[in-house]
Chain A
Amino acid sequence: MDTETLRRLLRFVNANGSVTDTCTALANEAKAEALVEAKARLKEMFVQAILHKVLETPPDPSGIASPPVSPPALEDVTQAPPASLQEASVSAGPTIVPESPAAVAATVESSGSSVPPAETVAADSTAADTSMAEPLATSPASDDTSTAEPDPSVPPAEASVDDQQQLFQEMEAIRRQIAENEARLRNVQAAPSRAEETPEPLAGAIAADDAATAGADDSHPTEEDAAEVGDAYYVYGLLPADIALPTGAETIAGIDPAHAVIGLSYRDIQAAVSRAPLNEFGEEELAERFKDLTWVEDKVRRHQQVLETLMRYGPLVPLRFCTLYRSSERVQTLLADNYAYWVELLRTFRGKQEWGVKAYLVEETLAARVGEVSQQIQQLKEQIAQRSAGAAYFAKKQLEEAVAKEIERLSDEYAQDSHNRLTACAVEARLNSLQSSELSGNDARMLLNGAYLVDEAQWSIYRTELDALEAQYGPLGLTYALTGPWPPYNFIPALEEQDAHEPGCS
């Protein structure tokens, strides 16, 4: 039990008082989970805090009349700055505070401690509570009634020496228990109540070139991030936390080749990020860079290369090009917010890849074959053959129009059939808008621009179907182009309450 723990405890309490509204607004499923963990930890902190006082402040013979001495840490801590919104959001529903002292009392009681020590605990916690935050002050009263068996008027001074020794033994036992719990808690990655300590839970796979700064993270989180004005975190995508990103010689080069891709974990998920210099990726700097298509192409390809590499390790949720955060804390917030949504997405994408299929039409080929394919055209041709020269002229005009119409109709039909049959072999499918010849650089007219989420188990079926389409429609002027596997760019369901939907975030 150290002053640092006490300080954190107090910060929780302070934060709770000042940002209750925000907490309420932020309460959602993911946070409810976090809350449970936070509560558990808070309870332990209370026990620790009280044990600390009991052990460090021997029972005063003069009784409870003399005010308990606050350890220096307490005064120090009451002036601690209010906790940030972020830590408050994970630490604190208003419900935590009323519950905790009771829980503490219960813990102490259940350990079988004798009466007068329990009294001491209550008295001390009252002292600590009042010095910390108001909501706590009321609870110890109820503790008195819960420990009713002893006469509350009995001062702790009357505790026998035996009782005290027994108490100390029990305290020691509890202390060990707490130490074990703490060790276990440390193993729980990114315990929400430790958001204030930030980078520690984030330290996932740290590439060699980031190791030094990451080490600094542990000691001075906020200062470190503030000091790192030169860099932002470029986020490529999210993936399960149990995937170890390559380190050492195998590292994946990031958007800025000088920085490797590392993982920042939060519970079961991690964000693949790399540092990106703000003098290149700052807001204004980026706007300038976007005018340089050479730069854009280089970075777009790097972005894609990173995602392609990450895809080999498992499911991946791709983020849009140039999504940057100013600190690792902000990245963690991204993971914590909508945590359930990310987990569900990763579950959906496991074992599936996106494939792109574009179909183009060479009109001349279809025009040449349209007479064979279309009965209507056949009939028209026969009519022309039977007519006189004069009538044939008008019939030819009519034929040309009919051919153009038939090409339209048939190409639509072929495209639709292609899409339907590919969709049948896929988990999901999306039709994207057709690329203009002007942008695609392809003279042939695009008929289909589809994206298909294909299960690995169905891949050969899908591939066979695509070949069958080519065999059937190829001679009629259609060509198919396959791209992929892509990360599931096209299959991201809309996320409600997402920041991106806020006005001003384009």
Chain B
Amino acid sequence: MSQAVHKEKEVTLLDLLDRILTKGVILCGDITISVADVDLIYLGLKVLLASVDTAERMRKADTGQSRAF
């Protein structure tokens, strides 16, 4: 049987974070992640993606393959 839907080869960091940071059993360990920490990590991801995105656009613009955004 051919499978039309393929499993994602590389699980995205976002998928991982969505589960690992906010799901699962959340216990009050001696040391745990705070809400602020979670926000911080998501913010970091946003910044990273934005910078990747920017770099990507600049690269495309340089090679003349830029599409209109």
Of residues 26 through 67 on chain B, the ones whose CB sits less than 8 Å from some CB of chain A are 26-37, 40-42, 44-50, 52-53
B37 in complex: contacting residue of A238, A290, A300, A480, CB < 8 Å:
A290
Give the docked Cα–Cα distance between A50 and B35 (Å). 56
Least CB distance, B37 to chain A, in whole angstroms:
5
- The range of chain A's interface size is 35 or more
Instruction: Report the separation of the CA atoms of residues A464 and B2 in the bound assembly, to the nearest whole angstrom.
Output: 10
- Whether A326 and B49, one on each chain, are in contact in the complex, defined by CB atoms closer than 8 angstroms, is no
Contact call B18/A438, Cβ cutoff below 8 A? no
B25 x A322 contact (CB < 8 A): no
Q: Considering residues B1, B7, B18, B25, which has the most beta carbons from chain A within 10 angstroms of its beta carbon?
A: B25
Is B68 positioned at the interface, with any CB of A under 8 Å from its CB?
A: no
Q: Does A206 contact B (CB under 8 A)?
A: no
0/1 string, B2-20, CB within 8 A of A gives 1: 0111111001111111111
- Is the pair B45, A482 in contact by a Cβ cutoff of 8 Å? no
In the assembled complex, how far is the CB of residue B59 from the closest CB belonging to chain A, in whole angstroms? 15
Residue of B3, B5, B7, B47 contacting most chain A CB atoms (<10 Å): B5
B27 near A291: Cβ-Cβ < 8 Å: no
Q: Contacts of B8 on A, CB cut-off 8 Å?
A: 481-483
- Asked if A287 is at the interface (CB within 8 A of a chain B CB), the reply is yes
Main SS at interface, chain A: mixed
Q: Taking the nearest CB of chain B, how far is it from the CB of A59, in angstroms? A: 54
Q: Chain A residues with Cβ under 8 A from B26's Cβ? A: 319-320, 323, 500
Q: Among B20, B29, B34, B50, which residue has its beta carbon within 8 angstroms of that of A489?
A: B20
Minimum C-beta distance from A505 to chain B (A): 4
Closest to A287 in B: B37
A505 touches B24 (CB 8 A): no
List chain B residues, Cβ under 8 A from A326. Answer: 30-31
Taking the closest CB of chain B, its distance from the CB of A254, in whole angstroms, is 15
Knowing A300-B13, A483-B7, the reply to whether A500 touches B27 (Cβ < 8 A) is yes
The one of B4, B29, B37, B48 that contacts A471, using a Cβ cutoff of 8 Å: B4
- Which of B4, B7, B20, B24 has a CB less than 8 Å from the CB of A492? B24
The answer to whether B28 touches A324, judged by C-beta atoms less than 8 angstroms apart, is no
Please, how many angstroms separate the alpha-carbon atoms of A492 and B43 in the complex?
26
B60 → chain A, closest Cβ, in Å? 14
Interface pair A286/B37, CB less than 8 Å apart: yes
Taken together as a complex, chains A and B put the C-alpha atoms of A232 and B30 apart, in Å, by 9
In the complex, are the beta carbons of B3 and A463 less than 8 A apart? yes
Give the shortest distance, in Å, between B53 (CB) and chain A (any CB): 8
CB neighbours of A322 from chain B (8 A): 31-33
- Contact between B20 and A321, CB atoms less than 8 A apart: yes
Check A467/B31 contact, CB under 8 A, given A438-B49, A492-B23.
Answer: no
Is B45 in contact with A490, judged by CB distance below 8 angstroms? no
24 contacting pairs across A/B (C-beta < 8 A): A232-B30, A232-B31, A282-B31, A286-B31, A290-B33, A290-B40, A300-B16, A301-B16, A320-B21, A320-B24, A320-B32, A324-B32, A325-B29, A326-B30, A326-B31, A439-B45, A440-B12, A441-B49, A467-B1, A467-B3, A481-B8, A484-B7, A498-B27, A505-B28
Interface residues of B (CB under 8 A from A): 1, 3-8, 11-37, 40-42, 44-50, 52-53
A residues with a Cβ closer than 8 A to B are: 232, 235, 237-238, 281-283, 286-287, 290-293, 296-297, 300-301, 303-304, 317-326, 330, 334, 356, 432, 435, 438-441, 463-464, 466-467, 469-471, 474, 480-484, 486-487, 489-490, 492, 495, 498-500, 502, 505-506
